[in-house]
Structure 1
Amino acid sequence: MKKILSTYILSAILLSGICLPTSCEKFVELGAPPTQVELDDAFRTDASARSVVLGLYVSTVNSNISGTTTFYAGMAADDLQYNAADPSLLEFGNNGLLNTNSYVNNLWGSLYQLIKNTNNCVYGLEKSTTLTPAVRDQLIGETKFIRAYAYLYLVNLYGPVPLHIKSDLEVFEQVSLERAAVDQVYNQILTDLTDAEVKLNTTYEGTFRARVNKHAASALLARVYLYRGDQEKAESYATKVLQASDYSLVAPTANFVNDSKETIFQLANLTGITTFGTNYITSATVIPSYTLPERVYNSFETAPTTDLRKSNWISPKTVSGTPYYAVNKYKLSAGTGNEYHIVLRLAEQFLIRAEARANRNNLSGAKADVDAVRKRAGLSGLPSGLTQAQMLSAIETERLHEFFGEYAHRWMDLKRTNRATAVLSPIKTSWQDTDVLFPIPNAQIVINGKLTQNAGYEN
């Protein structure tokens, strides 16, 4: 029996979907359709294997995981305000999600489809005996990074989730998995990222830092260890990135272009226009679907100098007498441009290390890292003599000002520091402690009877 790799070809070299059916005799008898290639052929040569892995990046962009994780979690937190009238999206903003919410289900499906694709890639790459060893390692590293990235969002948004790391060929008959404990999911994330960091090169493949390298794996490891409360390793991995000569902080006016020196990893697109630009930017008389809440806008420093992030990343506008605060990090919304979806950037590594140092009582080191980010924003350093609690509070505020409207940073920060209820309950009248997780989609529970529902969403 021949093993078939099913792909959706977007261009001559970019493949966006992977499926490995085991019962493929009929496909062979009928003649493989043009979107099917044999598994052994897909991973036989360096060129074909690269094409499959490039397809993982394409599928990540096409599924709009950047936008959905950002917009949904931003509304659920306090860094995005939703201004339209879709009732299913309003559920995120008022933290009244139903377990039948189609957006919650679609996000779950997109992340698991990406994981399915990476599982099949890892299987094919590890099985291949014909690839150049260095190329094979690089591609495995990239694939495991993407799988870890997908699981990081799943476990933070939904809590315990099914842990599926085998290819379709190995578990085709297995139709359901139970939810794995959060610690078990994180262990897999760390296993994947640690192996990726070993296998990846420090130099970037291709152009515009649009494929992950060793520093990208280190950067995501720093984030994961911070989330897990391992302050020593969070500091260590962030330091690896900060000591690299490839990156530097840049002025807020130049952060979000695709040749920024601050970018560690970004997702490329064909037009240079991002989902952030198209959703955040509108004409003067049109209200953006998502804006920055007024209370966040007012929290930026203005004296003795104005925070350059406020003046460069936010555009106040008034429509029909109502003020709105447009998120203006990405400047382009149509046509062609030079903006990609920036997933990892250097400022985060400074703030990860600052928080890790503060938690280890190295307050002078924490201050130095925060001050580096503040200096780039045109601000003076933090006051001397802050207590540990004051330093951690200052870092929380700095992270809000740095990462609003980006990749669910605020939502994850409030959850991991157990600050969600304290911050959100005063401004969200229907807030409940159980709102820190999204519901497990009811459609998935119907399909997989082993899934259980998160507390607060049983009805």
Structure 2
Amino acid sequence: MKTIFNKHIFSAAILAGSLLSTSCEKFVELGAPPTQVLLDDAFRTDASARSVVLGLYVSGIGNLGTTTFYSGMAADDLQYNAADAGLLEFANNGLLNTNSFVNNLWGSLYQLVKNTNNAIFGLERSTTLTPAVKDQLLGEAKFMRAYTYLYLVNLYGDVPLHVLSDLEVFDQASLARTPADQVYTQIIADLTDAESKLPTAYEGTFRARVNKHAASALLARVYLYRNDWEKAESQATKVLQATEYGLPATTSNFTNTSNEVIFQIANLNGVTTFGATYITVANVIPAYTLPDAAYNSFETTPTVDSRKTNWTAPKTVSGKAYYAITKYKVSSGTGNEYHIVLRLAEQYLIRAEARANRNNLSGAKEDVDAIRTRAGLAGLSASLTQTQLLTAIETERLHEFFGELGHRWFDLKRTNRATAVLSPIKANWQATDVLFPIPNAQILLNNNLTQNAGYEN
């Protein structure tokens, strides 16, 4: 097994991930437990336990694309150019509670929760693992659970909080929704524990497994979302003070060797979901492009924002202009790109926003200017008020994170700016659209689930 693991890491990871998979039919109903032998075998040796945890990374790849595309359409940073009726519901902010994409996303996220719960349970009960290996694997699993719940609570609001293994709770029929504040408490607890257990040094190559800085970086985001400005600044500072990271030019910062990467999920051929989806041949319209308004919002005088130059590509098809997203450059074959989950630019902008909200305007400006300098732009005016600076930070986040992992959607929601920004450009916009519906299929299976406002019918 060890030889196979070393030579075929992804095949081993996929197999190991399947050890923990249980039925997906009802994602918050707890089915029959895995056998005692299976759990003991999976976590008996360092190699087998490592393979199980690597399986969590593999199973998480699919969620990166779907959460990006669905939330991007719901916001204003992705334009949908195809005709799938279910996807048009996201683009038109007219989601039905029967939307199959919403149901599948809920299911895949909760399947990952179940797998991480089982992994954490197996790791904690194991008495045969090397202590340092056990701590690291626990840190990785708790990071993955926190990351998954962060998306669940931001997409759906109050969600069932399932943190026990199948073996521990198989006799429970179903779970009700947990208030978002309690979900965030669990997220913070998981990340704090992960931060304490994970090493600073990366395991393996290409920063494809989380380390201590990755946990700190995600904690910074969580505290930002909770308006805990002091802790958001503190966590971001931890990462920004690390010497491993930097801000390479916008021509190369999405490669898998970029020192901007804090954490990325590997793939077999160096081609990402994003490159394959956003980039098409000359006369083919990409399914998702940057909307005209977002493209035209980049600065062009006295210099052109290099993000506009390097991360977008105008193309005309049948006389209509589209703006392809070219952050990732490779769309097929083999390449040198992985799915970047955390990168340093976010930490600068987290700290900038936290500092601005703490009225440290000069410190906030310094952090924003680091991002603007990388983009070839002049620094912000020193005369900006707090409100003006926060608006500038929002714009920088749009320009930095468009088409990436739902950042824009979550930013508009957490700052209560969604209605102000989206209602003028979205004909069907309602304030309740800031949450996706709880899938009706799940409510039919679980009488303890209730529907989000605006989706009752």
Q: TM-score, normalised by structure 1?
A: 0.94
Match of 2:425 in 1: 427
Matched, 1:296 2:294: yes
In structure 2, the residue matched to 1:448 is 446
Aligned: 1:404 with 2:402: yes
Q: CA deviation at 1:297?
A: 0.3
Superposed CA deviations along residues 194-249 of structure 1, whole A, max 9, x for unmatched, are 00000000000110000000000000000000000000000000000000000001
Residue 13 and residue 24 in structure 1: after superposition, are their counterparts in 2 closer, same or farther (change >3 A)?
Answer: closer
Look up the equivalent residue of 1:43 and give its one-letter code. Answer: F
**1:259-308 per-position Cα deviation (integer Å, ceiling 9, x unaligned):** 00000000100011111011100011000000000000000000000000
Secondary structure in 1 aligned to 2:251? helix
Give me the whole-angstrom Cα distance separating, in 2, the residues matched to 1:204 and 1:393.
36
* Equivalent position SS for 2:72: helix
Share of identical aligned residues, percent? 75
Match of 1:103 in 2: 101
Residue 49 (structure 2) pairs with residue 49 (structure 1): yes
Q: CA deviation at 1:175?
A: 2.2
- Counterpart of 1:241 in structure 2 is 239
Which SS does the other structure have where 2:128 is aligned? coil
**What amino acid is the match of 1:308?**
S
Checking the alignment, whether the CA contact within 8 Å between 1:19 and 1:168 is kept in structure 2 is no
Letter in 2 for 1:380: A
Deviations 1:100-157 (A, max 9, x none): 0000000000100000000000000000011111100000000000000000000000
Deviation at 1:172, TM superposition (A): 1.0
Distance in structure 2 (CA, Å) of the matches to 1:52 and 1:411: 32
SS in 1 for 2:322: strand
Contact persistence 1:148–1:193 (CA under 8 A): yes
Structure 1 segment 115-126 matched on structure 2, within 5 A: 115-126=113-124
Question: 1:34 maps to which residue?
Answer: none
Question: Quick one: distance in 1 between partners of 2:34 and 2:259?
Answer: 47
1:363 matches 2:365: no
Q: What is the rounded CA distance, in whole Å, between the counterparts of 2:294 and 2:21 in structure 1?
A: 44
Q: CA deviation at 1:19?
A: 4.0
**Matched letter for residue 42 of structure 2:** A
Q: 1:297 to 1:202 in 2, by over 3 A?
A: same
Q: 1:23 to 1:210 in 2, by over 3 A?
A: closer
Change (3 A) 1:356 1:189: same
Aligned pairs (5 A) from 1:161-172: 161-172=159-170
Q: Distance in 1 between matches of 2:214 and 2:340?
A: 12
Partner of 1:387: 385
Q: Which amino acid aligns with 1:194?
A: T
1:344 aligned partner: 342
How far did residue 12 of structure 1 move? 3.7
- Check if 1:287 corresponds to 2:292: no
Specify whether residues 431 and 137 from structure 1 end up closer, same or farther in structure 2 by C-alpha distance, changes over 3 A only: same
Find the aligned partners of 1:325 and 1:81 in 2 and give their Cα distance: 9
1:172 aligned partner, one-letter code: F
CA distance in 1, matches of 2:12, 2:272: 23
Shift of 1:41: 1.6
Aligned 1:87-236 pairs, distance under 5 A: 87-236=85-234
Contact 1:19 1:120 in 2 (8 A): no
State the superposition RMSD in angstroms: 1.3
**Could you list the runs of 5+ residues in structure 2 that have no partner in the other structure?**
1-8, 23-30
Contact in 2 for aligned 1:10/1:16 (Cα 8 Å): no
Instruction: Return 5+ residue gaps in structure 1 as ranges.
Output: 1-8, 29-36
| AA matched with 1:38 | L
- CA 1:133–1:437 in structure 2 vs 1: closer, same or farther (change >3 Å)? same
Contact 2:254 / 2:337 at 8 angstroms: preserved in 1?
yes
After TM superposition, give the deviation of residue 174 of structure 1 in Å. Answer: 1.4
Counterpart position of 2:66: 68
